[in-house]
Amino acid sequence: MFLIKSTAVLLAAACLFGATGAHADEAGFLRSLQGKFAGKGTVRIRTNSPIMNITCSFTSDATATSLSLDGTCRAMLIMTREIRADLKTNGKTYTGIYTGSRSGPAGLSGSREGNAINLDIHWAKIINGDRDAELTVEKIDADDMRMTVTDMDPATGKMVVTSRIDLKRTR
């Protein structure tokens, strides 16, 4: 239950973290994401809730135009959430579906700028006062990436980091 929207989005983002404009560049980039990854981070169930530490691991499968990510995140050694993200690219545009949130399947869409992919998330149900959030997936280097989910706090109208995970290739 702890991985409502933010962690789900973060792992979905892992699938996307570094596309380029040309198809050949996208294909090479997606294939570079093939493998196993693990990392640590933080998540908030709601924009006003306390931060929890999490650990995540996942396996990614890539083709020239798609990326599928299967993973698991854990908090406090007793809470676990399985997640999956399936993404497709058409040039610079990324679209996909995230499953694993309690709200149901979420739509993902966005594009890359520099070393980051910026995605809009559209949840199946209202979370934190609306159905929208933002995901940024940043490629740090060949084996490291950072995924950050932000959402608007309905009480203040300010954007709040609801999840941040730093991942490293394990194989």
Domain CATH code at residue 115 = 2.40.128.20
Residue 42 within any structural domain of the chain: yes
Cβ-based neighbours of 6, under 8 Å, separated by 6 or more: 43, 44, 133, 149, 151, 162, 163
Residue 19 lies in a domain: yes
* pLDDT, average across residues 103-125: 88
Interval 139-146 mean pLDDT = 86
- HSE, side-chain direction, 13 A CA sphere, residue 93: 3
- Rounded Cα distance between 13 and 17, Å, is 6
In this prediction, residue 23 has a pLDDT band, given cuts at 50, 70 and 90, of low
162 located within any domain:
yes
pLDDT score at 123: 92
pLDDT tens figures, 73-98: 999 878 888 888 888 988 889 999 88
Instruction: Report the alpha-carbon distance of residue 119 to residue 134 in Å, rounded.
Output: 6
147 in Cβ contact with 139 (< 8 Å): no
pLDDT at 24: 62
Between 26 and 43, residue with greater pLDDT: 43
Give the structural domain span for 140: 6-169
Name the pLDDT band for 107 (thresholds 50, 70, 90): very high
Q: Which of these, 56, 37, 40, lies nearest to 169 by C-alpha position?
A: 37
The mean pLDDT value for 27-38 works out to 84
Residue 1 lies in a domain: no
Query: Quick check: is 131 in a domain?
Result: yes
Domains identified in the chain, total number: 1
pLDDT of res. 9: 41
